[in-house]
Amino acid sequence: MTLRRQLGFWIVSLIAFIAFLAVFSQILLPFVAGMAVAYLLDPVCDRLEALGFGRLWATLTILFAFVFFLVLFFILLVPVLGNQLAGFLEKAPDLVRALHQLVSRNFGERLAELTGIKPSDLQSSFANLMGQGASWLGGFAKQLWSGGQALLSILSLFVITPVVAFYLLLDWDHMVARIDGWLPRDHLEEIRQLAREMDDAVAGFVRGQVSVCVILGTFYAIGLALTGLNFGLLIGMGAGLVSFIPFVGASLGLIVSLGVALVQFWPDWTMILMVAAVFAVGQFLEGNILQPNLVGDKTGLHPVTLMFALFAFGYLFGFVGMLIAVPAAAMIGVLARFALKQYLASPIYKGVGGPEPADPE
């Protein structure tokens, strides 16, 4: 009966949590963003405390610096990115049409020979593909906008999110201690160990991946701008920011930048290859330097599982879901590995006199 009650309690808690997210997902974004900021900056606050700052002054110093750089970003970069985005959206139909004509004129017959499709059918397929891609991107952007309006509003960005982050960062250690005091004493060390593993998985991935996205976005933006690519700053920053989805950020950035480069630089293959080289170098840096040193294998999740979590949570809860997808998936992974370990050590798996279980890792 005790086991049934425990299972019932956790199942009811999970259902209540999902229902809470579903009902309040439209207003949760500034609060989730504030929690994320507090979680990201808590180690910095601890460092300042170790240097002799009080918790209040450490929190104020960090948040003032955070808001300062955020305002600086909005003043210096957002107008430029906004102008490039407006220009890109305005010229997107012309770019697609020019790319279509260029490919058909220079590669249509070769593609028809390789695929066995008539040039007219190939053009129709290309137009349909581009139309579907534009429709998908438009729907995805609309979903992100509808779910992210609270964050994009001045009130939530400059008032609610910093206030939430301030109070959470100020009381972080007290909240952790209070939650620790609520844990059942019989399973205290076991739960603490699980919590430490979850914290390592979430903190290592989120803090490391934020650094990777910022570094890659800066690299791509500067590299594409130096090549003279139209909308290079926008494409580079976008590719870097979407790099938290495995393989998607670099792939989208490469496809869009090569399409723009073909229209802009054709037939100058040197410039087109330079644009491709920016992403080649970026992928080398990400795979061999940034990911191993800043992220590693923190979550214990396969990239496909990570992608599924991002798209599933985003579909269910909008932009808020995408923010909580990785932490939720990492915590579920820790719990799943713990449950598997318990199962492999149980009589259900071993049976009577059965062999010793293999290591689940």
pLDDT, average across residues 293-319:
72
The structure tokens 């920016």 sit at 278
Mutual angle of helices 188-227 and 232-241, in 10-degree steps: 160
Predicted confidence band at 173 (pLDDT cuts at 50, 70, 90)?
confident
Cα diameter, the chain: 75
Question: Higher confidence at residue 351 or residue 139?
Answer: 351
Residue 151, pLDDT score: 47
Position 150 scores a pLDDT of 43
In this structure, what DSSP letter does residue 246 have? T
| Mean pLDDT, the chain, integer | 75
The residues, ordered by sequence, that sit 6+ positions from 231 with a Cβ below 8 Å of its Cβ are 84, 87, 88, 260
DSSP string, 273-285: HHHHHHHHHHHHH
Task: Tell me whether the omega of the peptide bond preceding residue 267 falls within 30 degrees of 0, making it cis.
Answer: yes
In this prediction, what percent of the chain has a pLDDT beyond 90? 0
Please count the CA atoms within 13 angstroms of the CA of 9 that sit on its side-chain side.
Answer: 6
Q: Tens of pLDDT along 63-91?
A: 888 778 877 877 877 777 777 777 777 77
Across 32-41, 92-101, 195-204, 213-222, least confident range: 92-101
